[in-house]
Structure 1
Amino acid sequence: MGHRENEDDKPIYQSPTEEQEQQGTGLKPTLTLFNGVMIIVGCIIGSGIFVSPKGVHEHAGSVGLSLLIWIICGVFSAIGAYCYAELGTFIRESGGDYAYVYAAFGPLMGFLRMWIECIIVRPCTITCVAITFATYILKPIFPNCEPPFPTLQVLAALCILLLAMVNCASVKLVGKVQDVFTMAKLFALALIIFTGFILLLIGTPYTDSFENMFEGSRYGMGSLALAFYSGLWAYNGWNYLNFVTEELIDPTKNLPRAIAISCTLCTVIYALTNLAFYAGTSADDLLESPAIAVLFANRFYWYFAPAMPILVALSCFGTVNGVMYTSSRLFYVAGRREHMPVVLSFINPYLGTPIPAVLFTALLSLFYILLSDNIYVLISYVQIVNWLAIGVATAGLLWLRVKKPPRDYPRPLQVNIIWPIIFLIGCALLVIFPIYQTPMDTAIGILIMLTGIPAYYLGVICRGKSKKGDEFMGQFFDIQIVSRAELSRAEPS
C-alpha cells in the first residue's frame, strides 16, 4: 500500500474516533434489506445441509424424528436470532456477540468471547468451508478417488485469497458476490426440492421411507443432543448479520426483518430438502454416503449429475465470502476497542474497507489449512464453548434489562422476556449434555477459551508499555500509525 501524490502527511488508514464516525469516515451503511437477507442465508446455507443430514439421522435413528429435529433446530435458531435482534437494534455497533457481552459484562468477558471467536471459530469455519469447496469443485475430475495432495489445500487457499481480495476491494462488490452465489445455492436446493415433490407424487417406492416414520427413534438425551448439534451446525450463521450492523441501512427496521425472512426461509428449505433426500434415497444410503447430494444427483439427473457438485461448491464459495466479511468486522471492532492491534480498526478512505482486518482474517484461515487434517477435531472442541458464549450473550440481554431498564432506555425492538429465557435454557442444555457425553473434549474447549485470560493481561492490561506490535503491523501494511489523541486533533481527510 502506498501513498497518493501530495498526501504523504496523511495516513492511508484511519482508526475512527467517535467524532470521525459522526463525520462519516467510519464504515458506511450500504447494505439493503435484500443484502442483509442474502448475507444471513448465504452464511447459513453452506456445506451443512449437504453434510449434516447423515449426522442428524445417525443420532436420531428414524426419518420422522430427523425431520422433526431439523424443524426444531430452525425454530430454535429463529428464537436466538429474534433475541439478537433486540441486542442489535439497542447496541447498534458491529461486532455481534462481542459488542453485546462487552456492554453487559465488561471488557474481560467481552474479550474472552472475541478471543474464542476470532482466533479459532471464525478462521476454522472459513478453512473448513473452503476445503469443502475444493472437494466438491474437484469431484467431476476425481469422481471415484481423493485428489492428490496438496491439491485440496492449494485450491482452498486460492479460494480464501480471492475472496480476501474481493473483501478488500469494495463492500458493494462483496454484496454482489454474496447475492449471486446465494441465488446459486438456492437454485441447487430448489432443484432437489422440486425433484423430491415429483418423486412423492409418483409414490411407491419413493414413499417407502415415510412408512413407520418414527420406528427406531432414539430418545436418549445423549443421542438427541448429538443430533441437535449436527442440525444446529447446518444453521450456523443465523447471528452473522449482527456483526455488520453499522453497515446496514436503517438497522432498526431491516435487522429484525432480515432475520425473520432468513430464518423462516432456511427452515422451510432445510425441511423440504431433507424430505426430498428421504424420497430419493433410503435411510441406509443416507448413512453410507459421504455426499448425499451427489448420490441424489447421480440417481436422478443422469448427464446433468456433474453439475450438482459444482453447485454445492458454489454454495460453499458464497459461504466463505459471507463468513470472511462478517469475521473481518469482528476484528475491526476489537481493534477499535484496542482488544486487538489498533491497526485492525483502520479503514482505507478510498475503498471504504478495513483492509488490515480482512487480510488478518485471511492469514489466520490460511494458517489453519496447515492443520486441516485435525481441524474438525479442533472445531468439535470449541463448539461447546461457542454455545456457552452465545448463552452468555443471551444472559447479557436479560442483565441489560436490569442494568439499563426499558423505562429509562427504550428499545427499538423489545422481545417478550419468555423468548430469551427459553433460548438460554436451550443453550444450557447444549452445554451440559456434551459435558456428560464427552467430558475431555469439553475440558479442552474450556482450556482453549481460558488462554484468553493471559492474552487479555498481556495485550490489554499491559498495553501502552510497548508499542512494538502496532509498529510491526504498521510496517507490514505500509501504513502510518497515529494515536487516538492525534486523530482527534486531525482534520478530516
Structure 2
Amino acid sequence: MCKCTTVNSNDPKGNWQLTITTITVQFFTHLYIFMMNMKGPCCEVVVLFCAGNIIGSGIFISPKGVLEHAGSVGFSLIVWVLGGGICALGSLCYAELGVTIPKSGGDYSYVTEIFGGLVGFLLLWSAVWIMYPTTLAVIALTFSNYVLQPAFPNCLPPYIATRLLSTICILLLTWVNCSSVRWATRIQDFFTIGKLLALVLIIVVGMVQISKGHYDALEPQTAFEFIRDPSVGQIALAFLQASFAFSGWNFLNYVTEEVVEPRKNLPRAIYISIPLVTLVYTLTNIAYFSSMTPEELLASNAVAVTFGEKLLGMFSWVMPISVALSTFGGINGYLFTSSRLCFSGAREGHLPYLLAMIHLKNCTPIPALLVCCTATIVILCIGETHNLINYVSFINYLSYGVTIAGLLFYRWKKPKLVRPIKVNLLVPISYLVFWAVLLGFSLYSEPVVCGMGLVIMLTGVPIYFIGVHWADKPPNILCIFISPSCSL
C-alpha cells in the first residue's frame, strides 16, 4: 500500500521543497518546449557542444575558492548565478564576432583581424604558455587530490605524492596523444561520462537531502552570515574562481565555420546552454551545502569526496572515481586542443616552425604536445591549485576583454560592414565595465599572482618583433626554430 505525503504551504520546509521543485520543473519544461520549436538544423548538436565544453572538472575545483573569497554561503550562490550572466553577455558578443568574421579560431582570429598581428600574437602567446598549461596543471592536481584523498581521510595528501601522480597522468596522456588521434578521441568520449555521473549523483542526492529538511546552511538568516568581512577585492577573486568553472563558453567560436545557420543557431545555443550550465552549477553548490557546513567545505581538499563520504555510505567510492574520470578526460581534452593551437600558430608563422611538424605515420603534432607537456609539468611544480586558478582566470578575462573591446572598435572602424548578428551596445559595454572592475580589484588584491601573468604576456612583445615582424633576419640555423620563412 502506497504512502503519500503532501506539502504544507505554511511549513517552511514545505516552502523550500515547493520552490526548488517548481523552479526546476518549470525551467526544464520551458527548455524542452523551446528546443522543440526550433527549426534550425543541428541546433541540438550546437547546444550540447557548447554546454559540454563548459561543464567540466571546474565545478569540482572552484566551489571552495568561491566560498572562501565570497565569505558566505548566500553570496557564493549569488556569485555563481551572476557568473553565468556575465558569460551570457560575453557569449552574445562572441556570437556577433563569429558571424561577422567567419573564421574558426576564436579570439586569436578575431583579434588578429581587428588589431593586427602583435595583439593576436600576444593572445596566442599567453594561451600557449599560460592559459592552457596552467589549466592543465589545475586539472591534473585535482585528479591526483581526488584519487589520493580516500587514502588520507584525515589530512591532505602529501605534496610530493600529488605532484608525482599529476606528472604521471600528464606524461601518460601525452604519450597517448602522440601515438594515436583515435585513442585520444576515444578516451575523451568515454571519460565524459564521469563528469555527468558525478554531477547527476550530487544534485539528486542533494535534492533528496533538502526534501528531508536538511538545509540549515541555506536558510537566509544563516546563508548570509559572513565568515569574514567581504571586500571588493575578495569579491573580484570569488568571480575569478567561478569563471574557471565557466571557462569554455567561447569554444563554440572555434568551429563557427562548421555551424549550420550560425545567425540563428549561435544565439539559440547561448540562450539555452548558458542558463542550463548556470542552473546545474547552482544546484550542485546547493547540494553541497545540504550536507556540509561552510567550515567543512573550506576544510575539504576534495569537496565531492567529502560530500560522498557524508551521504553515500558504502557507495562513497563512486564519487572520487567519477571525479577522477572527469578530470582525466579533461586533461586529455585540453592536451588535444592546446597542441592544435600550437600547431596552428606555428603554421601561421607566429610560433616556432618546429611546432608545425607532425609525425608522418601517426599524423599527430608531437613537438607541440611535448611543449605543452613540459610547460604543464613546470607549472605543476611551482603552483598551488587556487592561486593557479586566480592566475589563469585573470589572463582569461584579460583576453576576453580585449576581444570584446575589439567588437566596439570594429563597429567604429567598419560601420557599414554586414553583421548578421548585431547585439545592443549595452551588452559589450556592460561586459567591459564589469571586466575593468574585476581585473582592477583582482590585480589590487593579488598583485603578485595576477601581475606575473601580465608580465609573462608582455614578454611576447620582443619575441614578436624578433621572431615574426623582423622579416630580414640574418641566415642562422636557429632561424629554423623561429620562422618558416628563414633560409640558411
TM interval, shorter chain, is: 0.7 to 0.9
The residue that corresponds to 2:25 in the other structure is none
1:210 aligns with 2:231: no
The residue that corresponds to 1:309 in the other structure is 320
- The one-letter amino acid of 1:242's match is N
Q: Deviations over 1:51-104 (max 9, x none)?
A: 322222233333222211111101111221221122233333343222211111
Q: Structure 1 residue 150: deviation in Å?
A: 4.4
CA distance in structure 1 between the partners assigned to 2:478 and 2:257 by the alignment: 27
The alignment's C-alpha RMSD in Å is 3.3
CA distance in structure 2 between the partners assigned to 1:118 and 1:268 by the alignment: 31
Q: Deviations over 1:18-67 (max 9, x none)?
A: xxxxxxxxxxxxxx877765665454334432232222223333322221
Given that 2:80 and 2:282 are in contact with CA atoms closer than 8 Å, whether structure 1 keeps it comes out as yes
The residue that corresponds to 1:362 in the other structure is 373
The residue that corresponds to 2:88 in the other structure is 78
Q: Structure 1 residues 134 and 208 mapped into 2: Cα distance closer, same or farther (>3 Å)?
A: closer
1:66 aligns with 2:72: no
Q: Structure 1 residues 435 and 160 mapped into 2: Cα distance closer, same or farther (>3 Å)?
A: closer
Given that 2:401 and 2:435 are in contact with CA atoms closer than 8 Å, whether structure 1 keeps it comes out as yes
1:229 aligns with 2:217: no
Q: Structure 1 residue 412: deviation in Å?
A: 3.8
1:296 aligns with 2:307: yes
Q: Deviations over 1:386-415 (max 9, x none)?
A: 32222111001111122233x4x3234332
Q: 1:448 aligns with which of 443, 456, 465?
A: 456
Q: Structure 1 residues 86 and 177 mapped into 2: Cα distance closer, same or farther (>3 Å)?
A: farther
Q: 1:164 aligns with which of 174, 197, 212?
A: 174
Q: Structure 1 residues 211 and 447 mapped into 2: Cα distance closer, same or farther (>3 Å)?
A: closer
Going by fraction, where is helix more abundant, 1 or 2? 2
Q: 2:345 aligns with which of 321, 334, 345?
A: 334
Q: Structure 1 residue 184: deviation in Å?
A: 2.0
Q: 1:100 aligns with which of 110, 123, 143?
A: 110
Given that 1:57 and 1:63 are in contact with CA atoms closer than 8 Å, whether structure 2 keeps it comes out as yes
Q: Structure 1 residues 383 and 176 mapped into 2: Cα distance closer, same or farther (>3 Å)?
A: same
1:123 aligns with 2:133: yes
The residue that corresponds to 2:284 in the other structure is 273
The residue that corresponds to 1:476 in the other structure is none
1:177 aligns with 2:187: yes
Q: Structure 1 residues 384 and 140 mapped into 2: Cα distance closer, same or farther (>3 Å)?
A: closer
Q: Structure 1 residues 38 and 162 mapped into 2: Cα distance closer, same or farther (>3 Å)?
A: farther
1:457 aligns with 2:465: yes
The residue that corresponds to 1:25 in the other structure is none
CA distance in structure 2 between the partners assigned to 1:376 and 1:202 by the alignment: 34
Given that 2:121 and 2:460 are in contact with CA atoms closer than 8 Å, whether structure 1 keeps it comes out as yes
Q: Structure 1 residues 385 and 368 mapped into 2: Cα distance closer, same or farther (>3 Å)?
A: closer
Q: Structure 1 residue 347: deviation in Å?
A: 5.6
Give the secondary-structure state (helix, strand or coil) at the position aligned to 1:422.
Answer: helix
Matches within 5 A, 1:14-33: none
The residue that corresponds to 2:477 in the other structure is 468
Q: Structure 1 residues 469 and 379 mapped into 2: Cα distance closer, same or farther (>3 Å)?
A: farther
Q: 2:124 aligns with which of 87, 103, 114?
A: 114
CA distance in structure 2 between the partners assigned to 1:73 and 1:456 by the alignment: 34
CA distance in structure 1 between the partners assigned to 2:422 and 2:240 by the alignment: 29
Q: Structure 1 residues 249 and 140 mapped into 2: Cα distance closer, same or farther (>3 Å)?
A: farther
Give the secondary-structure state (helix, strand or coil) at the position aligned to 2:325.
Answer: helix
Given that 2:188 and 2:332 are in contact with CA atoms closer than 8 Å, whether structure 1 keeps it comes out as yes
CA distance in structure 1 between the partners assigned to 2:215 and 2:223 by the alignment: 17
Q: 1:430 aligns with which of 423, 427, 438?
A: 438
Unpaired runs of 5+ residues, structure 1, are: 1-31, 474-480, 486-493
Tell me the TM-score normalized by structure 1: 0.79
Task: Report the more deviating stretch, 227-236 or 100-109.
Answer: 227-236
Given that 1:343 and 1:470 are in contact with CA atoms closer than 8 Å, whether structure 2 keeps it comes out as no
The residue that corresponds to 1:489 in the other structure is none
Given that 2:146 and 2:305 are in contact with CA atoms closer than 8 Å, whether structure 1 keeps it comes out as no
Q: Structure 1 residue 299: deviation in Å?
A: 0.9
The residue that corresponds to 1:198 in the other structure is 208
1:139 aligns with 2:154: no
CA distance in structure 2 between the partners assigned to 1:81 and 1:136 by the alignment: 32
- The one-letter amino acid of 2:293's match is S
**Residues matched between the structures, number:** 443
CA distance in structure 2 between the partners assigned to 1:286 and 1:147 by the alignment: 17
Q: Structure 1 residues 380 and 402 mapped into 2: Cα distance closer, same or farther (>3 Å)?
A: same
Tell me the TM-score normalized by structure 2: 0.80
Given that 2:340 and 2:368 are in contact with CA atoms closer than 8 Å, whether structure 1 keeps it comes out as yes
Given that 1:243 and 1:329 are in contact with CA atoms closer than 8 Å, whether structure 2 keeps it comes out as no
Q: 1:402 aligns with which of 406, 412, 415?
A: 412
Given that 2:73 and 2:217 are in contact with CA atoms closer than 8 Å, whether structure 1 keeps it comes out as no
- The one-letter amino acid of 2:232's match is M
Task: Report the more deviating stretch, 100-109 or 313-322.
Answer: 313-322
Q: Structure 1 residues 85 and 209 mapped into 2: Cα distance closer, same or farther (>3 Å)?
A: same
Q: Structure 1 residue 468: deviation in Å?
A: 3.1
CA distance in structure 1 between the partners assigned to 2:47 and 2:119 by the alignment: 30
1:325 aligns with 2:333: no
Q: Structure 1 residue 280: deviation in Å?
A: 1.3
The residue that corresponds to 2:12 in the other structure is none
CA distance in structure 2 between the partners assigned to 1:468 and 1:379 by the alignment: 39
- The one-letter amino acid of 1:234's match is A
- The one-letter amino acid of 1:285's match is E
Given that 2:174 and 2:373 are in contact with CA atoms closer than 8 Å, whether structure 1 keeps it comes out as yes
CA distance in structure 2 between the partners assigned to 1:249 and 1:467 by the alignment: 47
Q: Deviations over 1:115-150 (max 9, x none)?
A: 122111211111221121122123344444555664
Q: Structure 1 residues 163 and 252 mapped into 2: Cα distance closer, same or farther (>3 Å)?
A: farther
CA distance in structure 2 between the partners assigned to 1:470 and 1:196 by the alignment: 58
CA distance in structure 2 between the partners assigned to 1:277 and 1:471 by the alignment: 53
Asked which structure has the greater RCO (Cα within 8 Å, sep 6+), the reply is 1
Q: Structure 1 residues 247 and 373 mapped into 2: Cα distance closer, same or farther (>3 Å)?
A: same
CA distance in structure 2 between the partners assigned to 1:311 and 1:78 by the alignment: 28
Q: Structure 1 residues 433 and 136 mapped into 2: Cα distance closer, same or farther (>3 Å)?
A: same
